[in-house]
A and B are shown apart, each in its own frame.
Chain A
Amino acid sequence: MSALVIAEHDNKSLKRATLHAVTAAKALGGEVDLLVAGAGAQGVAAQAAKVAGVRKVLHADDPAYGHGLAENMAPLAVGLAGGYTHLLATATTFGKNLMPRIAALLDVAQISEISQIISPDTFVRPTYAGNAMATVQSLDAKRVITVRATAFEPAAADGGNATIEAASGAGDKGLSRFVKAELANTGRPELTSARIIVSGGRGMQSGENFKLIEAIADRLGAGVGASRAAVDAGFVPNDYQVGQTGKVVAPDLYVAVGISGAIQHLAGMKDSKVIVAINKDAEAPIFQVADYGLVADLFKALPELAAELDKQGLSKNKPSS
């Protein structure tokens, strides 16, 4: 038994998300190899070789793999799949886009977003926005899997000493071409890896008011999230969205501000270690999952919270505003 994990990266550094899939792959019980396919991604291959528990890094270098296009990546992975019983990636938009294409080319099912491994062929995965947990058994000889990051701890990024082997595939299929990326660069931690997240909902009333959320987040070194309602209302961009149709997060501390707690939002954050809810509606469903609830007007509570953090010396960096 052996597993191949498809690494996600930007040709410069290995995405932390990949480390979660490595942990899941190790839990299957066999050897774990990593595929780094990119353009000039030697540095990523070197990082991948240091990940604890990895046997071998397969490094494919071709401009066709530079942007992770599924049309080019899938045949490469399929060509390498012969020696493996399991192919895995983390269920990011990268993994979700690529892995089903690989599965179909192999004529096997994909098992999406597993949250638990029962045995090498049996897995638990959330369905119905996390409201029903299904235990499924794969009847295929090869298993293609995406892994819910929040359900598996990241593997240690250091301590490994894998060999790096060159790999190659067909290169550019000529079906698709990368045009541009517009990625937010806020200087704050990414939601999927943030230790603390402060999220705002419809109760924020405007995008301008998210400054109040940011003031808390920056004091705590936290990421900023939002409910689908806040995103749909145009307060913040879509990549802020926490929930079943957005990002699934599980930080140490999740602060939900002006969020009522729709099922779709809860599905994205209910695995957080500690949940705080600040809402003026004492009946809001968010309080049913919150460890600490504060019934208050957020426009009063957030400035007070900022002041209290400063007073107690808990602010990492005090914004000037």
Chain B
Amino acid sequence: MKVLVAVKRTIDANVKVRVKADGTGVETANVKMAMNPFCEIAIEEAVRLREANIASEVIAVSAGPQAVQETLRSALAIGADRAIHVVTDVALQPLAIAKLLRAIAAKEQPKLIILGKQAIDDDNNQTGQMLAALLDWPQATFASKLKIEGDDAEVTREVDGGLETIAIKLPAIVTTDLRLNEPRYASLPNIMKAKKKTIDTLKPEDLGVDVTPRLNVLKVEEPARRKGGVKVADVAELVSKLRSEAKVIG
């Protein structure tokens, strides 16, 4: 079976983001970019399925400007077989991405689509669920364990208060949580090999998808900053402050 994996290029998770002074967004010029960490987990899971002879082909998909091809190359270096780049300069929102992925799924006919549960830039946590709705497929979100047997999958999900296991029929959508796997580092030979793999390009118009944003971002600001307080000398002073000054215990 084919497995489709959606990947997003985001600011590197280790970079401290800075809000632009004019309030239009965050500074991305000369900032290190990388694959969204949850998407890396998604690619890793798909490649492991191919290595276990459950998947026959892993296709990485991304949408955005030319630069997202770097992210697709990273996916190919981890082990995806080929990639699809939907080229657009529009700032894509989850519903538009879900529609692009639905159109690609119609062409590629994957049995499984794996996505990260959220991207660490917009923190939306929507695209996988939306894609599942548009395809009328089951969704196993926030997955920490995935077991596939034939056309059935059993997925353990990280939910508030613990874990939940659901059974779903393929084709299906899975979104990854942190503990699903630990992505490998791409080896140098695999990075070289990835340069030769195919990246097909498409435009949203080719897929018949309207990607016009549904939300206007009016402004972006820094959060209210919390001020540091005082250092206490010992446990006795701490307890006394919490009791009589902060009045949160007692």
Contact = CB atoms under 8 A, between A and B. Distances in A.
A238 B133 contact: no
A179 B167 CA distance: 6
A180 B154 CA distance: 11
A133 B220 contact: yes
A120 B248 CA distance: 35
Contact of A111 (B141, B178, B215): B215
B236 A252 contact: no
A47 interface: no
Interface residues of A, number: 88
A309 B161 CA distance: 28
Contacts, number: 257
Contact of A127 (B141, B220, B232, B248): B220
Contacts of A263: 16
Interface string B193-225: 000000000000000000001111111111100
A301 B235 contact: yes
Given A196-B249, A291-B229, A101 B218 contact: no
Contacts of B169: 174-176
A205 interface: no
B144 to A, nearest CB: 7
A274 B123 contact: no
Size category of the binding interface on chain B: 35 or more
Interface stretch (A26-34, A53-61, A154-162, A182-190): A182-190
Interface stretch (B68-76, B103-111, B239-247): B239-247
**Chain B interface main SS type:** mixed
Point out which of A228, A274, A287 has the most chain B C-beta atoms below 10 A from its C-beta: A274
A244 interface: yes
A184 B239 contact: no
Interface of B: 11, 16-17, 19, 25-26, 93-95, 98, 120-134, 136-142, 144, 154, 157-169, 172, 178-179, 213-223, 226, 228-232, 234-236, 238-239, 241-243, 246, 248-250
Given A134-B219, A137-B215, 11 more contacts: A71-B138, A112-B124, A128-B121, A131-B16, A131-B26, A132-B26, A132-B223, A291-B230, A292-B231, A292-B241, A314-B250
